[in-house]
Amino acid sequence: MNRYNSLIGLLILFFSCNFCFSQSSEELWLSYSQPLNNKLKETYTSKIKHIQIKTFSETGEIIKTELQMLATKMLDTSISFTSTTPQIIIAKIDNLDSKFKQKINSQSLVNNESFIIQTITVHQKDLLIITGKTDISLLYGTYCFIKQLQLHKDISSISITDSPKIQLRILNHWDNLDGTVERGYAGFSIWDWHLLPGFKKEIYYEYARANASIGINGTVLNNVNSNAYILTSPYLQKVKTLADIFRPYGIKVYLTARFSAPIELGKLPTADPLNEEVIQWWKSKISEIYKEIPDFGGFLIKANSEGQPGPNTYGRSHVEGANMLATLLEPYQGVVMWRAFVYSEQQSEDRAKQAFNEFAPFDGAFKENVLVQVKNGPIDFQPREPYHPLFGAMPKTSLMMEFQITQEYLGQGSHLVFLPKLYEEVLSTDTYAKGKGSTIAKIIDGELYQDHRITGMAGVANIGTETNWTGHPFAQANWYGFGRQAWDPTTSAESIAKEWLSMTFTTDSLFIQQMTPLLINSREAVVNYMTPLGLHHIMNAEHHYGPGPWIANMSRPDWNSIYYHRADSLGLGFDRTQTGSNALEQYPKEIQEQFSNIHTIPEAYLLWFYHVPWDFKMKNGHTLWYTMAWYYQQGVNEVKNMQQTWEHMQPYVNNDIYQDTRMLLEIQYSEAQWWRNACLLYFQQFAKMPLPEFIPEIPHTLDYYKALKFPYAPGIHPSWN
Ligand code: GCU
């Protein structure tokens, strides 16, 4: 935006809005404080004055409070909740008067969370109905209605029917019982285990409210690298308090169970899943949990990976481990989410192949209430990975997606990266599992395999005790976007960006027009300045922050950068074709055909699958070396563009957010340069070619970058410090 536009923008805002900068970052996308012009304000006010809520549950109270909050904050008015001549009726379909019910297509309420928002005409007057089968569906319908107002939509003849496409929409908290958060960059855990069960902090309600507003219906409270103590009776009391708070918001509580808990808590000599005493121990533990929390969701398990205990320790398989717990949870409708992220103790020929090799042969063997939870890519939440080959390879198993919302490998707390763009790329990828168009979205939402029992999507949370919840103000968008895509995995990143920006800041079109591309492009920017062309895992090995292509760990050569990028005098990249590890073989033939030719593989995955000569001629006619340098520079330039756009956004956001984001973008810009400089200097030793002319002079030597140390790196598992 040029200065002239920004001036016009300011004037428009000044004259047309009830203008105040009360956007509050604590209230996320629910502050109801965006500027609203007087005309719209009057229209909305006149339409929501009298509302009848025909449900007397706690959820009904939440609906009431939310609507009242909207009226007060957005419209400076209050709502009268009345049964005489209401303009809006919020009622379960079974409680609607038959004269209203017959005007509504209740067939479209396909599940217990679906809702309908519809304007009907009664005695020549408009009446707005929000209905569904359950209280929770009414809550979802209400949030959707509120969103229409936040987006300044015309609500005069509104007609919306919606339902979640995925059943389990879950946050995974990697929160430790000592209050730290593994890979968390937004402060400490919001669960105050010390003060629970007695002390019900306001933040628990706010957390539930925010999640309900985007349809998240489950939360795993503790880290996948788990501590068995969460399963002790005193801790279960604490968990119960949280479950009771979350229930009226439609959110179930789940726990990560440590597979060796029968040893640690039950003092048994083994945790062998086929041992009778072990089974009995779990049986009575599960019964204890359900006595306290009758709608407990179930267990998440990280087994035999990165030192976590599991069935393999006892010569048993993942299936034997998962099914033992699933059998015991079945009477209570509980589920097991068994993670496929397995990094075994033994060194593997190619880490990217391990999960597929361990899990694909078990297709069809897991019980119906087991979901296998698979990360989006075969390595580990990199800025870009090819999709995980298990998607499409286990048609008889409920596969659940695991995305990371916290930005472990993507600049952590300081880089602005809009992740729905990454999620969209993964979800829309074609696996060809049942012919063309077999996208990952269709696998995880069950469309492709109709007989699928349970569908799910998990996101590793980015929430902490920071006042704005997520540290970076724009990281809120990733939480929001995850919820939207878990609700409907075909939701576009662009529509999410627009919604989030409008709901959080302002619907002003000048703002939205400039900020939407900023968000959308931010994902490609991080790929470019960190790991272009299919490079991966070249971060510092422990805290995963900053470049570390030189990192070597000779005791575990498969856990370091050198292993992944394989730079040598001949070229760069990991040969995963037939001449190398042949990980490509794990993908369907359509992908193999395209990827097994170095000239037809998408360049975005080139170095993931090939060891490419430095002077290889790329599609742009330049060498690999030149092109790689071009991408690194492009990433830096993109961050510069983000800074320039942001400079003009001051009129639209409150000053704190403006200044914080400005400072963060400065950090991001200097770190994008750090990545470019360090990686290019390191790889140049092998390429032995000059830096292209567009790379500015690098002020330091490689040794300088190698010597940079962080005295404190947040978010690491305490035992790894
Ligand atoms: C990554 C991450 C760990 C985490 C692991 C997992 O390796 O760095 O902190 O425990 O993923 O997903 O289990």
Is 408 in the active site? yes
Tokens of 598: 């170095």
Atom nearest to 717 CA in ligand 1: 9
Atom nearest to 402 CA in ligand 1: 12
Atom 1 of ligand 1: nearest residue by CA position: 380
Given this model, what pLDDT does residue 719 score? 43
Alpha carbons 435 and 595: distance in angstroms, whole number: 18
Cβ–ligand 1 distance for 302 under 6 Å, the answer yes
Strand partners, 433: 435
d(CA 341, ligand 1 centre) in Å: 8
Is 58 in the active site? no
Long-range pairs for 422-429: beta carbons < 8 A, 24 or more residues apart: 422/376, 422/383, 422/384, 422/523, 423/376, 423/481, 423/482, 423/485, 423/493, 424/485, 424/492, 424/493, 425/384, 426/376, 426/377, 426/387, 426/401, 427/401, 427/485, 427/489, 427/490, 428/490, 429/387
Alpha carbons 375 and 146: distance in angstroms, whole number: 33
Given this model, what pLDDT does residue 450 score? 76
Q: Which of the residues 272, 380, 575, 660 is marked catalytic?
A: 380
Is 306 in the active site? yes
Atom nearest to 375 CA in ligand 1: 12
User: In the CATH hierarchy, which fold is given to the domain comprising 528-574+611-707?
Assistant: Alpha-d-glucuronidase, C-terminal Domain (3.90.1330)
Q: Which of the residues 162, 408, 425, 671 is marked catalytic?
A: 408
DSSP letters along 604-646, please?
GGHHHH--EETT-B-TTSSBHHHHHHHHHHHHHHHHHHHHHHH
Cβ–ligand 1 distance for 183 under 6 Å, the answer yes
What pTM does this model have? 0.95
How is the chain split into domains, by residue range? 2-162, 168-491, 528-574+611-707
- How distant is the alpha carbon of residue 121 from its chain centre? 41
Alpha carbons 478 and 647: distance in angstroms, whole number: 22
Count CA atoms closer than 13 A to 620's CA, side-chain side: 11
Given this model, what pLDDT does residue 387 score? 98
Cis peptide preceding 197, ω within 30 of 0: yes
CATH 3.30.1330.90 fits 168-491, yes or no: no
For the chain (721 residues), the mean pLDDT of every run of 10, in chain order, is: 42 40 81 92 96 97 98 96 94 96 95 98 95 98 98 96 98 97 96 97 98 98 97 98 98 98 98 98 98 98 94 97 98 98 78 95 97 98 98 97 98 97 98 98 94 91 97 98 98 98 97 98 98 96 90 81 96 98 98 98 98 98 98 98 98 96 97 97 98 97 89 52 33
Q: Which of the residues 306, 363, 488, 494 is marked catalytic?
A: 306
Domain 2-162 superfamily per CATH? Chitobiase/beta-hexosaminidase domain 2-like (3.30.379.10)
